[in-house]
Amino acid sequence: MSGLLKLKTAAELRQIYLRHEMFPTIFCDGCGLGNVLNYTLWALDELQLDLDRTVFVSGIGCSSRLSGYVNADGMHTTHGRALAFASGIKAAQPDLNVIVFTGDGDGSGIGGNHLLHTIRRNMDLTVILVNNFTYGMTGGQAAPTTPIDSFSTTTPYGNIEYPLDICALAQTLGAPYVARWMINQPYPPIKSIAQGIQKRGFALIEMLVPCPTAYGRRNGLKQLETIWQWYRDHTILIDDYEHIMHFGSPDERAALHDKIKIGIFQDCERESFEARWAALVEQVKL
């Protein structure tokens, strides 16, 4: 990979990668899903991937609209089953690059079981899991990632359930590449998505995306500036977090309890399903 990003202009990018008849996007004011698509396309551009050999798979939800905007083959599948469809594509055609767009409700709630088992199998997929803390498209119900004490349509008196940390789950299951980013800074997610695509094995990139309409409106974060600033205030880079936990004063450590860690959590090598499958086919061949 090149050391420095050589960016084209957005005008050139949208000429190559986007389906113009689908635009303008359906996303609300202040939603960051467009940014996720933007960063994914910059990452594709950095790697110079062939769009004819790339498949975009998505489930149901706001985030899953993203695959429709890219000028490549894609599947818009049933709720939560994006990873199951993607596994099928990858198993049938291992030389395709498969990128999955999924949301927190779609990927970790309804399709939580598929997430577990696709990571366990170590399919060579790049999963961009967009976390906006809520089921945005269906009207703001509480998702597995909704923070404790926050309000939603199904938790009008505050959420009493502990949220799921998707990155910690993927790390425990041994996914080769696990990262979480927020969308305020463009360059780390672009680099990270490019690394995830290059990784042989399951790469999970969780993107924290503000949702002012369904989540923010009920939690005092309706204004665009407020919700984007909330993400800036409530995230901390993993290196800084560990540094403060080691050397910080008790007050500094106490200030970290409600912050979300961002950064690359796991980057290791593990033999993927395709490699083991090819070896097995070679071994039992008559």
Q: Which residues bind another protein (CB under 8 A)?
A: 7, 9-11, 13-14, 18, 23-25, 27, 29-35, 37-39, 42, 183-184, 186, 224-225, 228
Packing angle of the helix pair 112-121, 82-92 (nearest 10 deg)? 30
Nearer to another protein, 56 or 228 (CB): 228
Nearer to another protein, 162 or 187 (CB): 187
Instruction: Identify the helix (H) or strand (E) that includes residue 205.
Output: strand 203-208
Nearer to another protein, 42 or 273 (CB): 42
- Min CB(8)–another protein separation in Å: 10
Nearer to another protein, 38 or 97 (CB): 38
- Min CB(21)–another protein separation in Å: 12
Measured CA to CA, the distance from residue 249 to residue 243 in angstroms comes to 11
As a residue count, the chain comes to: 286
Contact 256, 244 (CB under 8 A): yes
Please name which of 170, 188, 201 lies closest in space to residue 263, comparing C-alpha atoms: 188
- Min CB(54)–another protein separation in Å: 18
Measured CA to CA, the distance from residue 231 to residue 233 in angstroms comes to 5
- Min CB(53)–another protein separation in Å: 23
- Report the DSSP pairing between strands 203-208 and 126-131: parallel
Measured CA to CA, the distance from residue 156 to residue 141 in angstroms comes to 10
- Report the DSSP pairing between strands 260-267 and 177-182: antiparallel
Alpha-helical (H) ranges within the chain are: 10-17, 33-47, 82-92, 104, 112-121, 166-172, 187-198, 224-233, 238-247, 250-254, 273-284
**Residue 14: burial class (beta carbons within 10 Å; 0-12, 13-18, 19+):** middle
The answer for residues whose C-beta is within 8 angstroms of residue 89's C-beta and 6 or more apart is 55, 57, 75, 96, 98
Nearer to another protein, 13 or 116 (CB): 13
- Min CB(33)–another protein separation in Å: 7
- Min CB(99)–another protein separation in Å: 18
Nearer to another protein, 29 or 95 (CB): 29
Nearer to another protein, 27 or 202 (CB): 27
- Min CB(129)–another protein separation in Å: 18
